[in-house]
Structure 1
Amino acid sequence: MDLPEEVMMEILMRLPVKSLLKIRCVCKAWCGLIKSPSFIDMLKRYIEHENQTMISFHSNNDEAEKSLSLCLRPPIEVTWFYHRNLEAAHLIGPCNGIVCITDGMDIYLCNPATRELRKLPPSPFGCPEYYRPMTDGVGIGFDSSTNDYKVVRILFWETIEYSPGRQYQAELYSLNTNSWRELRDVILPFYHFFARCNLLFQGRFHWRAWHALAQPCDTDCILSFDMRAEVFDVIHYPPSCVGDLGLVENKEPSFVSLNDSLALILCTSLPEEHPAPPQVIDIWAMMEYGVEESWTKKFSLGPFTIGIRLPLCLWKDDKQLLLESRSGRLISSSLLPDELEAADLKEHDIFESSTLFEGRIYAESLVSLNPIYMEEAIIE
């Protein structure tokens, strides 16, 4: 039975490249389709298919429509975690061209530019009997005083049988020594870290967290870790954004750097009913880092009706905001003063098929993950 060309393209696009090379000899029609520029272009942009997660690279290029669809190189497949049937790997960072990839159990460092990959050794620290360790938060950073890349991991010990309360532990990995050590005398009354909501800013890594000791109930906050001083700290949201139950109006937060300031993006979350009501996005900047009174609302965007799932990051020198649409497609909104009133969202040819879209602004580097005394680990 003959299938329409567009249907055949959708089928072939889901096959590995090695399989596509083999089936070119089946018939002239298949060979011509696989070699066609349109198919090759679609294959470049198809960054997610069944049981595979990809890290895809797209150019910060000013060439009009191609700026968000030009794939710089073949994507990197992130398939190391799927034997555990987990949903996906999460991107942490980047830091000087290095990204951290984790599923909460295994942790990898990767330089996508050089395609170097290093799996971090397992933690040597155990946990009490009848407990099991669970990762709550992971962060990456660079300590310029020791010229060392560090990964911090926050774990809690979960009881095998139900028991109220949790015990927390913080560990720090050093690339220079390729080893972990415990961070002692650290009190961590926090839980429910969010892997998609994190940011490295001015040598400190930031997570969205809930403060477990807050009264009268748990309260949203930002937890930070200083990679040089190796200390944790807490940053509170703007008072008008927080109620008794945390962030108000079902806001979904993202952290970004805006004009060299720590910034917070708040987007009204989507309800279950269809169609979704219009959504509004607020962007706040902390004009003086660490001074909570300096939070200032910089932008208020919308209302939008396209259906926004989550803000991702800022793009093009902080002039565009990238977001994930409800349908899993990458969309953007301009932050230029003369375009704010239009409340227009632009769709791009970058998409995924689940709810695990992540966006990071990445700058290439030649930083090596393999000091001379370490074994090489290269992505083939």
Structure 2
Amino acid sequence: MDGCLANSPEDIVKEILVRCPVKSLLRFKCVCKNWCTLIKTPEFVQQHLKNHSPPQLLIYDNGDIDDDDDDLSITLISEEHPRRFIGMKQLFGSVDGLFFMVGEIDREISCALWNPGTREVKPLHLPIPVATIHDSPVFGFGLDPLTYDYKVVYFHINNLCEHYASVHSCSRDLWRIFKPKIPYFTDVKHTFGTAYLNGTYYWLLTGGHHSNYTILLFDFGSEMFKEIEGPGHQSVDTNMLGLMSVDSSIAILNLNPRTVFAYDIWVMIQPGVWNKLVTFQCFFRIKSCYDNSLILATKDSQLVSYDVRTNKTRHLGFHHPGLRKDAEYDGGCGVFYYKESLVKIKRRDDEDLDH
């Protein structure tokens, strides 16, 4: 079988390999030089990313909120051999199978990019000393669709109450620091939720010009910030739960104050124009979202997905007591669905994947 496959025409071999999981492809690189070269080409990586393989479930434990900050770490409990990232507390993602993680090591802010499929990790060093940070920096991670460059962005306030933003280019391994022309940054008190869609990162924040909350976006192509209006103050207030994507559009998930355990989903039709898509009742804890589905934890600590379009629920086959708590605020479990990929995040082309 192996000899027959190795002697097949190149296009047939490629069609077979592009359907294989990442773990298998990393082993197949040792079969022959031609396969190794093919699997490492950017064209193959993109074709593999676009195939219709099912998403992977990534579940992590963030420790106990009563522990010291230095003891909190992200531990992957959805893997056969759990992996631990010491000092890391938050995950952002996924973008093409890549995640961005942030934490605190030796009382300094630390961050890194991570591909769980290839197990590749790349630490990123912030361009400013942590001593100048007045408030915790607000991060985002995404893809510049014009240059196909993965970028990290964050904004912060220094000791003089001046706001700054920094953008990291993964392809060039460089930071750019600038002062965004958005005066309300000093009013930002809390981040309700974040989302990435089509080259743009979105934050749902308290403060702003229009109401008691605002939506801030960052375009990874132009590297510019912009504020947009959300649904009217009468419809959405501080009961917001976060952002999600529905039918390739940004949506706000909001707790309905008039009905017990009811939620509204508002979809952005165009910048500043919103439409209420659905109101539904849910007695489970909302952990995450993927496409049109919410990932929920039941009272008996089971994971299920709920499609807001079809109103159908599906069990995901995972159980853990920490699912009853929120990873960021309660020291519980966080959940992501993601598309496994071969995307490299190291700068040098001659560096091989860590696995």
Normalised by the size of structure 2, how large is the TM-score? Answer: 0.66
Do the aligned partners of 1:333 and 1:346 also contact (CA within 8 Å) in 2?
no
- SS of the counterpart of 2:338? coil
- SS of the counterpart of 2:263? strand
Cα gap change, 1:204 to 1:283, in 2 (>3 Å): same
Rounded Cα–Cα distance in structure 1 between residues aligned with 2:142 and 2:58 = 30
Question: How far apart are residue 224 of structure 1 and its match?
Answer: 0.5
Question: How far apart are residue 330 of structure 1 and its match?
Answer: 3.6
Kindly indicate whether structure 1 or structure 2 has the higher relative contact order, using CA contacts under 8 Å at least 6 residues apart. Answer: 2
Alignment partner, residue 192 of structure 1: 189
Cα gap change, 1:348 to 1:193, in 2 (>3 Å): farther
Cα gap change, 1:220 to 1:368, in 2 (>3 Å): same
Question: How far apart are residue 97 of structure 1 and its match?
Answer: 1.3
Do the aligned partners of 1:266 and 1:282 also contact (CA within 8 Å) in 2?
yes
Question: How far apart are residue 147 of structure 1 and its match?
Answer: 2.9
- SS of the counterpart of 1:239? coil
Specify which of 272, 278, 289 is matched with residue 313 of structure 1. 289
Equivalent residue letter for 2:240: E
Question: How far apart are residue 180 of structure 1 and its match?
Answer: 1.1
Unaligned runs of 5+ in 2: 1-56, 65-71, 328-332
Rounded Cα–Cα distance in structure 1 between residues aligned with 2:59 and 2:205 = 33
Rounded Cα–Cα distance in structure 2 between residues aligned with 1:348 and 1:176 = 38
Question: How far apart are residue 374 of structure 1 and its match?
Answer: 8.2
Specify which of 202, 205, 223 is matched with residue 206 of structure 1. 202
Do residues 296 (structure 1) and 275 (structure 2) align? yes
- SS of the counterpart of 1:189? helix
Equivalent residue letter for 2:74: T
Question: How far apart are residue 133 of structure 1 and its match?
Answer: 4.5
Cα gap change, 1:280 to 1:101, in 2 (>3 Å): same
Rounded Cα–Cα distance in structure 1 between residues aligned with 2:58 and 2:232 = 41
Equivalent residue letter for 2:152: V
Do the aligned partners of 1:254 and 1:311 also contact (CA within 8 Å) in 2?
no
CA deviation digits over 1:290-315, x for unaligned, max 9? 2x23x11111111x4x3x44452136
Alignment partner, residue 14 of structure 2: none
CA RMSD between the two structures = 3.5
Alignment partner, residue 326 of structure 2: 355
Alignment of 1:96-245 (within 5 A): 96-103=96-103, 105-123=109-127, 125=128, 131-158=132-159, 166-190=161-185, 191-194=188-191, 197-212=193-208, 214=209, 219-239=212-232, 241-242=234-235
Do the aligned partners of 1:96 and 1:363 also contact (CA within 8 Å) in 2?
yes
Do the aligned partners of 1:45 and 1:350 also contact (CA within 8 Å) in 2?
no
Rounded Cα–Cα distance in structure 2 between residues aligned with 1:110 and 1:300 = 36
Unaligned runs of 5+ in 1: 1-43, 58-70, 82-88, 160-165, 270-276
Alignment partner, residue 11 of structure 2: none
Alignment of 1:39-58 (within 5 A): 47-48=60-61, 52-55=73-76
Alignment partner, residue 372 of structure 1: 348
Alignment partner, residue 279 of structure 1: 261
Question: How far apart are residue 348 of structure 1 and its match?
Answer: 5.8
Rounded Cα–Cα distance in structure 2 between residues aligned with 1:268 and 1:348 = 29
CA deviation digits over 1:212-237, x for unaligned, max 9? 4x37xx62111100000111111222
Alignment partner, residue 323 of structure 1: 296
CA deviation digits over 1:67-95, x for unaligned, max 9? xxxx6x544322234xxxxxxx1111211
Cα gap change, 1:107 to 1:375, in 2 (>3 Å): farther
Q: How many residues align?
A: 277
Alignment partner, residue 245 of structure 2: 257
Alignment partner, residue 37 of structure 1: none
Alignment partner, residue 62 of structure 1: none
Question: How far apart are residue 185 of structure 1 and its match?
Answer: 4.7
Question: How far apart are residue 118 of structure 1 and its match?
Answer: 0.5
Alignment partner, residue 25 of structure 1: none
Do the aligned partners of 2:256 and 2:264 also contact (CA within 8 Å) in 1?
no
Larger Rg: 1
Rounded Cα–Cα distance in structure 2 between residues aligned with 1:332 and 1:147 = 31
Alignment partner, residue 80 of structure 1: 87
Give the fraction of aligned pairs with identical amino acids, expressed as a percent. Answer: 21
Rounded Cα–Cα distance in structure 1 between residues aligned with 2:314 and 2:117 = 31
